[in-house]
A and B are shown apart, each in its own frame.
Chain A
């Protein structure tokens, strides 16, 4: 099975260093969660891991890969990509073909992927008419259609209803634990990540500032403490008394 390893990844946009020397590994059979505040560099990092953005420094390695990276990786980053003029089935067929699925198998691969994310009843509908949640499901199905060995998903539950969130949670666990897929997922929902992640890495201001135990207590408090510590703040200190204010 294929794993993913990033070594010393750096990416700058002008004077801003969006990702600053990140080392990260995503192992086969594990769900690795990436958490961080807005602007922490999660999306930029994921783009480089997928290969749609080139790092200024460092490298990304696919350990044990037996084919081109694009054929092994599925991703949803930023917004789920879908062509509005195509139906759900055609979008999935196109995604399968571009990811190396042979023409004869593309149609059945599309049907399997649609069923996996619960949109098999929408295959004949144009993507332009889909709700945000169903568009997200279509993006996920496109990422899964070629049966990838590495999955990189940025906020995969965006726009999903509770049933959709549950379905994605089950899907990711199934991909990782039953199919041996290496899954990297980002989210702001720490409670959700606690339910599925084997490992949680905290990214802040473009740097890895620590790791959280998914099964520990009060994940949110530990996350904020870690971020504050990285910023040099002491959250345990008493707030200063304001002259004339209420104590």
Chain B
């Protein structure tokens, strides 16, 4: 690994922000997915079961492993955007807030390479965490007595993993906001704004093309009709937004000055 990569990976490994965010993500997703399935199993349309279960059944489709994988996809597609967005924003913005930027400029290792290492290491952590969360979900589901998952269940869980990776990819623009905003707070504000706007856009029926809504729609958050309505253009926009964010963030870092 290059000097920039080893340094950025070390900073991520040691950072309480990263540890807390990714540990919370790795635990919340399986707890929600398995917990939702268990609550649905205890719910009852006649009102004799759990009220929470009945409510969850309205949000998460199916029962047993179907509910687990559906719940996993739904929570991951939002949580990975929020969690990875915070870490990506912190990774770039903390160099300004902590006044460490001067140490990263005018080095034999270019600032552009450092930015690539920041974005790449955050993505690798996010992807590894969603895989770990999926594994924990499988263990949790089996421990909860759901039996062994079928191949279709594993395929659905895999779709959830892909939704998590896509959500993490869509978090890269917040690294750029943190860079041009010279701190992580503007990026956290932008992140919350995008999550809010996504909800509104989905309610208005435009989620199929709004990149930040696409992963959660694809895993069935808006129902099967909404999932089918996501066009290849919507998926392509997810790829383009992340790639564009990568490019402009690296370019912004390459031009940074210590004012």
Contacts and interface: CB of A to CB of B under 8 A. Distances in A.
Interface of A: 13, 47, 50-54, 67-71, 73, 75, 77-79, 81-86, 90, 94-95, 97-100, 103, 142
Chain A to chain B: the 6 pairs with minimum beta-carbon distance, closest first: A51-B106, A81-B103, A97-B3, A52-B258, A70-B107, A52-B105
Contact of A78 (B3, B6, B99): B99
Given A98-B4, A99-B109, A100-B109, 11 more contacts: A13-B259, A52-B257, A67-B108, A71-B107, A71-B108, A78-B102, A78-B258, A81-B103, A97-B7, A97-B109, A98-B108
Contacts of A97: 3, 6-7, 109
B145 interface: no
A98 B109 contact: yes
A82 B239 CA distance: 35
Interface string B101-130: 111111111000010000000000000000
Interface in B176-209: none
A53 B258 contact: yes
Highest count of chain B CB atoms <10 Å: which of A73, A77, A81, A82: A81
Nearest to A126: B14
B15 interface: yes
Given A81-B100, A83-B98, A53 B257 contact: yes
Contacts of B108: 67-68, 70-71, 98-100
20 contacts: A52-B106, A68-B108, A70-B107, A77-B258, A78-B99, A81-B102, A83-B11, A83-B98, A83-B100, A85-B14, A85-B16, A95-B103, A98-B4, A98-B7, A98-B103, A98-B109, A98-B114, A99-B109, A103-B6, A142-B103
Contact of B104 (A13, A53, A84, A98): A98
A232 B107 CA distance: 41
A75 B258 CA distance: 13
B246 to A, nearest CB: 21
Nearest to B95: A81
B11 A79 contact: no
B24 interface: no
Contacts of A83: 11, 14, 98, 100
B86 to A, nearest CB: 16
B10 interface: yes
Give the interface size class of chain B: 20 to 34
Nearest to A72: B108
Given A97-B3, A97-B6, A54 B106 contact: no
B177 to A, nearest CB: 22
Contact of B14 (A53, A81, A82, A90): A90
A54 to B, nearest CB: 6
B51 to A, nearest CB: 44
Given A52-B102, A52-B105, A81-B103, A86 B11 contact: yes
Contacts of B3: 97-98, 100, 103
Contact of A70 (B100, B102, B106, B257): B106
Given A83-B100, A85-B16, A51 B7 contact: no
Nearest to B256: A52
A130 to B, nearest CB: 14
A97 B1 CA distance: 11
Contacts of B10: 86, 90, 94
B107 A53 contact: no
A69 B106 contact: yes
A17 to B, nearest CB: 15
Contacts of B107: 70-71, 98-100
Contacts of A86: 10-11, 14
Contacts of A82: 100
A85 B102 CA distance: 18
Contacts of A142: 103
Nearest to B258: A52
B122 to A, nearest CB: 15
Contact of A53 (B15, B114, B259): B259
Contacts of B11: 83, 85-86, 94
A82 B16 CA distance: 16
Nearest to A90: B10
Interface string B2-22: 011011001100111000000
A155 B100 CA distance: 17
A81 B99 contact: yes
Nearest to A100: B108
A84 B98 contact: yes
Contacts of A81: 99-103
Contacts of B15: 85
A229 to B, nearest CB: 31
